[in-house]
Amino acid sequence: MEAPFTIFIVEDDPWYGQLLHYHLSLNPEDTVQLWTSAQECLDNMYMRPDVVTIDFSLPDISGDKLLARLHQRWPEVPVIIISAQNKIATAVQLLKAGAADYLVKDDNTKDLLWNAIQKLRETSALREHVKRLEDQLQNKYDFSKILKGHSLAIENLFGLMEKAAQTPVTVSITGETGTGKELVAKAIHMKSGRHKKPFVAVNMAAIPAELLESELFGHEKGAFTSAVARKIGKFEEANGGTLFLDEIGDLHPAIQSKLLRVLQERELQRVGGNERIKLDVRLIT
């Protein structure tokens, strides 16, 4: 079932406005409002329309200026421009300014407008679906769901995890093997502002010492005998998100110094390369 839409039509030509109003009202689920001036539209934006269609040539405010005001105050509301002008330059300018679509007034306009609104409806439904999935994923990593218990120690741990999620500092998680350090790290990531970016977990103890530098920082083709192609390291994989390095305590001192330099300078060089790659990674160990 289609989600009901509230549609604003801003059209100063009474006959054309009624034509569009009738055609869009064929969907009984939608609420269609017709306004004859830009100011009427602005005065009624409290109704929170799902889409606004505006005539380019309005008596009080031009279509491009109305678009700018709508886009500034209500950027989430898509705006469709309907105009008698068929100049490509005008259409391109308005689309660059934020219009969702640009339709030229002709015999097919009402059908094109119907199709444009259907596409916006589908996009809105998809956006809502993605939002629900993101909420479900975040709920999956709710602290109380990954760690069971009601002791004072557990409550204190939840408090520390919440603080860690809200700050960008490097976090160190200690605990015996198998106690769930990776789950805690991922829960912190999912509750942080980086939750839409990658979470990359690396078990340092499982990587041979001679391959650690290449695994963490990547390498260029030909950097060593088996380097037949460029390889992206774990830091680059996690760029913008969170990198969890488990069992970091036994790192060779040479790798520790290189790791420290990457963390301090927020950039790296792949093995065998000269390019400096900027990083924005939150580290959890």
* pLDDT tens sequence across 39-70: 999 999 999 999 999 998 888 888 889 999 99
**Which stretches within 141-247 are classed as H helix?**
143-146, 152-166, 181-190, 212-217, 234-237
Same domain, 167 and 235: yes
Q: Which domain holds residue 131?
A: 6-137
* pLDDT tens sequence across 5-17: 899 999 988 899 9
pLDDT for res 73:
92
Residue 245 included in any domain: yes
Both tokens assigned to 150: 């009601």
pLDDT for res 3:
66
Residue 146 included in any domain: no
CA dihedral 15, 20, 21, 27 (to 10 degrees): 150
Whichever domain contains 277, its CATH number is: 3.40.50.300
Mean per-residue pLDDT over the chain, rounded: 85
**Residue written as token pair 């602290």:** 143
Residue 1 included in any domain: no
Confidence tier at 78 by pLDDT (50, 70, 90): very high
3-state secondary structure 125-155: HHHHHHHHHHHHHHHHCCHHHHCCCCCHHHH
pLDDT for res 41:
93
Same domain, 115 and 193: no
**Residue written as token pair 């939750």:** 195
Run of H or E residues at 7: strand 6-10
pLDDT for res 208:
84
Q: Which residue has the higher pLDDT, 18 or 187?
A: 18
Cα–Cα distance, 77 to 30 (Å, whole number): 16
* pLDDT tens sequence across 88-135: 888 888 889 889 999 988 888 889 999 999 898 888 888 777 777 766
Same domain, 232 and 265: yes
* pLDDT tens sequence across 126-137: 877 777 776 666
Structure letter (DSSP) for residue 142:
-
pLDDT for res 51:
93
* pLDDT tens sequence across 232-278: 889 999 999 999 998 887 777 778 888 888 888 888 889 888 888 89
Confidence tier at 223 by pLDDT (50, 70, 90): confident
Same domain, 278 and 177: yes
pLDDT for res 210:
84
Structure letter (DSSP) for residue 102:
E
pLDDT for res 136:
62
Please give the tally of structural domains in the chain: 2
Both tokens assigned to 35: 């306004």
Cα–Cα distance, 199 to 222 (Å, whole number): 29
pLDDT for res 21:
94
Residue 143 included in any domain: no
Check: CB of residue 54 under 8 Å from CB of residue 67.
yes
Length of the chain: 285
pLDDT over 60 at 192, yes or no: yes
Structure letter (DSSP) for residue 4:
P
Whichever domain contains 77, its CATH number is: 3.40.50.2300
State the pairing for strand pair 199-203/242-246.
parallel
Share of the chain above pLDDT 90, in %: 29
Confidence tier at 178 by pLDDT (50, 70, 90): confident
Check: CB of residue 39 under 8 Å from CB of residue 83.
no
Check: CB of residue 104 under 8 Å from CB of residue 77.
no
Question: Which of 20-24, 86-90, 180-184 reaches the highest mean pLDDT?
Answer: 20-24
Both tokens assigned to 41: 């539209």
* pLDDT tens sequence across 145-161: 666 667 787 778 788 88
Torsional sign, CA 187, 192, 196, 198: negative
pLDDT for res 242:
92
* Torsion-angle region of 24 (φ positive above 0: left; ψ -120 to 50: alpha; else: beta): alpha
pLDDT for res 135:
65
Residue 232 included in any domain: yes
Q: What's the number of CA atoms in the CB half-sphere (13 Å) around residue 112?
A: 14
**Could you write out the DSSP letters of every residue in 40-78?**
HHHHTGGG--SEEEEESS-SSS-HHHHHHHHHHH-TTS-
Residue 197 included in any domain: yes
What does the pLDDT average to over 181-199? 86
Run of H or E residues at 113: helix 109-140
